[in-house]
Amino acid sequence: MGRVLVVGSYNQDLVWEVPELPAPGETRAGTAFRSGPGGKGFNQAVAAARLGARTTFIAAVGEDALAESATALAQTEGIEARWQRVSGQATGTAGLFVDGAGRNSIVVALGANAHLSIAHVEAQADAFTGATVLLAPLESPLPAICAAMRLGRAAGAHTVLNPAPVPADLAADALADVELLTPNETEFCLLLRQLADTAVDPASLHGLPDEALAALCARLPVPGVLVTLGEAGAFHAPGALGHGPATRAPAAAVRAIDTTGAGDAFNGALAAAWAETPSAPVATLLPFAIAAAGLSTERAGAASAMPRRADLRHRFGL
């Protein structure tokens, strides 16, 4: 098994379960509350580690009790964490509402995550040298993530950027070292608008034929684009800098109760599978990543809901 390096965010999640998501200005009574580790970066690192990948995680935390908890949790998950301690900043937090159908609304206070520095990333050069796959979401500063992509590409790692969330100032040159872009439907349409001056309704993507969806992927300045489509599965096609066929894969048959972190489970599983078989075409990794994402929705929580390899083997034979 190769090594997965994740550069990203750590948050403490505060989760309220509600029958229906509140409308603006509305107060709703919750049915339950829980708190646990999260942040897109940490979720993805946990997903990769639980699926058998040797995993290193680079992130920023504050100098507070939540940072100590993060350190202990990383050790428990077998993750080698490279923390940047940011004085005067709180460790990141996220507030989530989850309704009876498993849908969610999320508010994130990035805290120390917003101060992850290029200097700290570059100081972890040995982690990049040993990485098979570099994975990064965008809850951390774009300059630090671009530095990570540059170091990952120079080291010969597969570089995977999960553009979640899409920064308003994201430009094409920020993707110069990205091998594979993994947006969801909303993020994909934002990228098309910002980078290709193309307006597409996210709700329309599910109904597009493969040729039309592939043509949209080809407008983004990267070798490959992998769009997660929720209940419609996932779609992989070359970007403007790539070539090859497009592939669509169906969603896993699961009973979702909480979709929080499903995209992170997908990305972490994809990274773990690619680290295990670095020469494999991305299309062959989709069933594994989709199964992991599906299983994560059958449990409440974010990092705590990431499935283990034995879960995928028992449920899907993977």
Active-site residue set: 264
The tokens of 294 are what?
Answer: 């599906």
Distance CA(43)–CA(266), nearest Å, equals: 10
The tokens of 264 are what?
Answer: 């992170």
Q: CA triplet 313, 184, 34: central angle to 5 degrees?
A: 65
Q: Residue 35: which residues within 8 A CB-CB, separation 6 or more?
A: 12, 13, 14, 15
Task: Provide the phi-psi class of 67: left if phi over 0, else alpha when psi is between -120 and 50, else beta.
Answer: alpha
Q: CA triplet 151, 154, 160: central angle to 5 degrees?
A: 65
SS3 at position 246: coil
Beta strands 80-85 and 92-98: pairing type?
Answer: unpaired
- What HEC string does 280-297 produce? CCHHHHHHHHHHHHHHHC
